[in-house]
Amino acid sequence: MQDFTQALTTALQMIVTLDDGLTRIVGLSLRVSLTAVLAATLIGLPLGAAVAALRFPGRRGLSVLLNTLMGLPPVVVGLVVFLLLSRSGPFGVLGLLFTPTAMIVAQTVLIVPIVASLARQTVEDLLVEYDDLLRVTGAGPFHTLTTLLSEARWSLLTTVLAGFGRASAEVGAVMIVGGNIEHATRVMTTAIALETSKGDLPTALGLGMVLMTLSLLVNFAASLLREAAKR
Amino acid sequence: MLRRSFISRAALGCAAAVALFGLGLGATARAEERFITVASTTSTEDSGLFKALLPTFTAKTGIAVRVVAKGTGQAIDLAKRGDADVLFVHHKPSEDKFVAEGFAAERKPVMYNDFVIVGPAKDPAGVKGSTDVADALGKIAAAKAPFVSRGDDSGTHKAELSLWKTANLDPAKAEGGWYKAIGQGMGPTLNTAAALEGYALADRGTWLNFKNRGGLAVLVEGDKRLFNQYGVMLVSPAKFPHVKAKDGQSFVDWLVSADGQKAIADYQIDGQSLFFPNANEPGV
Q: Which residue has the higher pLDDT, B209 or B246?
A: B246
Q: Is A90 on the interface with B (CB under 8 A)?
A: no
* Domain total in chain A: 1
| Pairing verdict, β B147-149 and B199-203 | parallel
pLDDT of residue B2: 42
What DSSP string describes B11-56?
A: HHHHHHHHHHHHHHHHHHHHHT--EEEEEEEHHHHHTTHHHHHHHH
- Over residues B180-207, the mean pLDDT reads 93
Return the beta strands (E) in A24-78 as ranges: none
CA distances to A218, B131, B215 from B152, rounded to whole Å, are: 38, 26, 25
CB-based contacts of B198, cutoff 8 Å, min separation 6: B119, B120, B145, B146, B147, B148, B180, B192
Does the distance separating the beta carbons of B64 and A179 come in below 8 Å? Answer: no
pLDDT at A45 over 90: yes
pLDDT of residue B1: 41
β-sheet bridge partners, residue B111: B230, B277
Q: Which residue has the higher pLDDT, B4 or A82?
A: A82
Mean pLDDT of chain B: 89
- Over residues A139-158, the mean pLDDT reads 92
Q: Which ipTM score applies to this complex?
A: 0.82
In a domain, A125, yes or no: yes
Q: Which of A132, A133, A134, A78 is nearest to A106 (CA)?
A: A78
Q: Which of A108, A217, A119, A104 is nearest to A159 (CA)?
A: A119
- Over residues B177-189, the mean pLDDT reads 92
**Count of CB atoms within 10 A of residue B96's CB?**
12
Residues 2-61 of A with CB under 8 A from B: 27-28, 30-31, 34-35, 38
- Cβ contact A193:A173 at 8 Å: no
Does the distance separating the beta carbons of A181 and B66 come in below 8 Å? Answer: yes
Q: Map out the domains of chain B with their CATH numbers.
A: 32-112+229-277 (3.40.190.10), 113-226 (3.40.190.10)
In a domain, A231, yes or no: no
In a domain, A84, yes or no: yes
Return the beta strands (E) in B60-131 as ranges: 64-70, 86-89, 108-120
DSSP 8-state symbol, B265: H
A30: which chain B residues are within 8 Å (Cβ-Cβ)?
21
pLDDT of residue B4: 47
pLDDT of residue A117: 97
In a domain, A145, yes or no: yes
Amino acid in position B144? K
- Give the pLDDT band (50/70/90) at residue B27: very low
- Of the given ranges (A199-203, A216-220, B63-67, B211-215), which has the lowest mean pLDDT? A199-203
**Domain hosting residue A119, numbered range:** 32-200
Query: Smallest Cβ distance to B25: which of A28, A153, A182?
Result: A28
DSSP 8-state symbol, A96: -
Does the distance separating the beta carbons of B64 and A181 come in below 8 Å? Answer: no
At residue B58, φ and ψ (nearest 5 deg) are -65, -40
Return the beta strands (E) in A9-107 as ranges: none
Would residue B222 be called left, alpha or beta, if left means φ above 0 and alpha means ψ between -120 and 50 degrees? left
- Over residues B81-104, the mean pLDDT reads 96
Mean pLDDT of chain A: 92
- Over residues A190-208, the mean pLDDT reads 90
CATH of the domain at A81: 1.10.3720.10
pLDDT at B191 over 60: yes
The radius of gyration of chain B's CA atoms, rounded to the nearest angstrom, is: 23
CB-based contacts of A150, cutoff 8 Å, min separation 6: B3, B4, B7
The model's pLDDT over B115-161, given as tens digits with 9 standing for 90+, comes to: 999 999 999 999 999 999 999 999 999 999 999 999 998 999 999 99
Ranges of H-type helices in B81-154: 92-100, 133-143
Question: B173-207 in b/e burial notation, b at 16+ Cβ within 10 A?
Answer: ebeeebbbbbebbbbbbbbbbbebbbbbbbbbbbb
In a domain, A137, yes or no: yes
pLDDT at A231 over 80: no
pLDDT of residue A203: 87
Q: Torsion angle of alpha carbons A228, B3, B5, B8, nearest 10°?
A: 60
- Of the given ranges (A30-34, A223-227, B188-192), which has the lowest mean pLDDT? A223-227
Amino acid in position B134? A
- Give the pLDDT band (50/70/90) at residue B225: very high
pLDDT of residue A14: 82
CA neighbours closer than 13 Å in the CB half-sphere of residue B159: 27
- Cβ contact B87:B71 at 8 Å: no
Instruction: Give the residue from B81, B184, B192, B274 with the most A CB atoms within 10 Å of its CB, the best one to mutate.
Output: B81
In a domain, A113, yes or no: yes
In a domain, A216, yes or no: no
pLDDT of residue B17: 53
- Cβ contact A217:A165 at 8 Å: no
Rounded to two decimals, the pTM is 0.86
A97: which chain B residues are within 8 Å (Cβ-Cβ)?
83
Q: Among residues of chain A, what percentage have pLDDT more than 90?
A: 73
Positive or negative: CA dihedral B170, B175, B179, B182: positive
| Pairing verdict, β B179-181 and B147-149 | parallel
- Over residues A48-71, the mean pLDDT reads 95
- Over residues B158-175, the mean pLDDT reads 93
Cα A158 to Cα B53: distance, rounded to the nearest angstrom: 46
Query: Smallest Cβ distance to A31: which of B4, B22, B81?
Result: B22
In a domain, A116, yes or no: yes
